[in-house]
Each structure stands twice: as C-alpha cells, then as structure tokens.
Amino acid sequence: MSCKVIAITNQKGGVGKTTTSINLSDALARMDKKVLLIDLDPQASASLSLAMTRYDGKNIFDVLTSDTSILDVIEQPQHSKVQMVVSNIALSTLEIKTIDNPEREFLLDQKLQEVKPYYDYIILDCPPSLGIITINSLYAADSCLIPVQCQFLAIDGLTQLLNTIKIVQKKKKFNNKNIYIEGILLTMLDKRVVASWEVVNEIKECFGEKVFKTIINSNVKAQIAPRYGKPVIAFASRSPASKQYKELAKELVKNNG
C-alpha cells in the first residue's frame, strides 16, 4: 500500500481534532499500520497529550523553515506504536517567517516526500485556523477528515472550510494532484441529549455518505487520557471511546481498501 496523508482539520476550535488525531493514529498503529503523526498546532496539544515535552529538541517548525530533514525529528512516544513529529510555539511565526517565500504553501508537501515510503498513514493534526499551516496541510494531504462536534452551531464555519478545500483542490488539479474529503466525523455525542441527535441528523442530511458511520461519544476517559500521556486505548481499553476509535480506524481502512 502506498502512503496516505490525512489532514485532520476544522478551523473551529475544540471540536476534537487533536483527540481524533491521536486516537485514530494509535488505533491504526494497533492494526499494524505504520503511522506518523505530525503535530501542526503551535499549541502542541498532540505532543503534550502523548507526553512529548522535549521543547529544546528540533520540531516541525525547524523542518518547515530550514534544511532539517523530517527524518531527524521523528520521535517515539512511550505509550503508542505511532511515531511522531512534535510542534512548539515557534510554529506560530511560520506566517511571518515565510512571507517572502513563493513556495510557502508547499513546504510541508516537499518535506513529506522523503518519509512517505516508510509509512502507511501520515496524520496531520491541524490548528483551529485557515492560515498558512492549514493550507500547507491541505496541499500535503491526499484527503481531509473533518471532526464536527455534536453541538449547536456545529455547521457554522464549515462552508468556509469547504471553500478553502475547493480552492486548494483547484490548484492541486493543476499539478495533477487531488484532495478529497475522507469523511466528516461526529464527535462528543451526548447520547442523552435530544439536541445532540438533532445535530447528527442535520449533518447527515447535509453530507450524506460523507459522514462516517462511527460516531465518537462524549466520554470522560477520552478527555482525561492525555493527562497521563496516553491514547485512550492505552489508558482505558474498554471505554466506549476506545471501541469507537478502533471502529473508526477499521472503517477508514475499509474505505481505503
């Protein structure tokens, strides 16, 4: 199988991008897939959630702004078979650092080429914005997975995201590449709340087949696992969130089969 790059993206904050990036990556690795998780958020939530706190070490910012190879910054978290490239706050200066670089939207795409032969999946945890980092991720990705929280205003902002994806798609087609929507993932469903199910139905009506069958419930174990530096499956293997992230990984692999 060739390598597939998936951007986990939604410019809306707190919808479950990082939680999905970590736990989907981990679940795929448990299916013996070779997975590289790249933290592309200056807040470094994914890095911190897997207890990767080596702030002094090189990270994705060095890769994107110097001749540092991505191979030199890959690290191994203790509690997952996933390999990882960490981020730090310096990444927030990428926009200004690269302002004169006409290639600035393709930095990640270029850097990923040399690691692709080693992985089945590369998962990109995007920040909550449609700035230069997300644009880099969309250019580098084959598809994007969009987590949507089962709450009021869930659809708000999705139009901007879909428009941005369309713009990137047009430019990519020019270079014989493509990006498509891997799927919309409903997250943090509170099964007892009627309003949550209304959001589920609304999203399904809008996006039909594009919505993953797997829905991630709101689950305390998923919320607290990062405090222990673990993916939820390593922290509480029998929790609903663990089962659902395993289901999601299976569904994704099947869709790509």
Question: Which residues contribute to the site for ligand ATP (CB under 6 A)?
Answer: 13-19, 41, 45, 128, 187-188, 216, 218-219, 222-223, 241
**Cα pseudo-dihedral 42, 126, 53, 19, rounded to 10:** 140
187 binds, among Mg ion, ligand ATP, none (CB under 5 to 8 A by kind): ligand ATP
217/241 Cα distance (integer angstroms): 6
Copy the structure tokens of residue 65.
């702004």
CB closer to Mg ion out of 41 and 120: 41
User: Is 9 an interacting residue with respect to Mg ion (CB under 5 A)?
Assistant: no
User: Is 23 an interacting residue with respect to Mg ion (CB under 5 A)?
Assistant: no
Residues 6+ away with beta carbon under 8 Å from 208: none
80 binds, among ligand ATP, Mg ion, none (CB under 5 to 8 A by kind): none
CB closer to Mg ion out of 147 and 183: 147
CB closer to ligand ATP out of 173 and 213: 213
216 binds, among ligand ATP, Mg ion, none (CB under 5 to 8 A by kind): ligand ATP
Order of strands, sheet of 143-149, starting from the edge strand that comes earlier in the sequence: 74-75, 83-85, 35-39, 121-125, 4-8, 143-149, 180-187
User: Is 12 an interacting residue with respect to Mg ion (CB under 5 A)?
Assistant: no
User: Is 230 an interacting residue with respect to Mg ion (CB under 5 A)?
Assistant: no
Separation in Å, CA 20 to CA 54, 184, 242: 22, 12, 11
Q: Can you tell me which of 10, 11, 18, 149 binds Mg ion, judged by CB under 5 A? A: 18
What count of other Cβ atoms lies within 10 Å of the Cβ of residue 178? Answer: 11
CB closer to Mg ion out of 44 and 107: 44
100/87 Cα distance (integer angstroms): 23
163/257 Cα distance (integer angstroms): 28
Q: Can you tell me which of 5, 11, 15, 17 binds Mg ion, judged by CB under 5 A? A: 17
| 114: amino acid identity, one letter | E
User: Is 47 an interacting residue with respect to Mg ion (CB under 5 A)?
Assistant: no
**Rule CB under 5 A: which residues touch Mg ion?**
17-18, 45
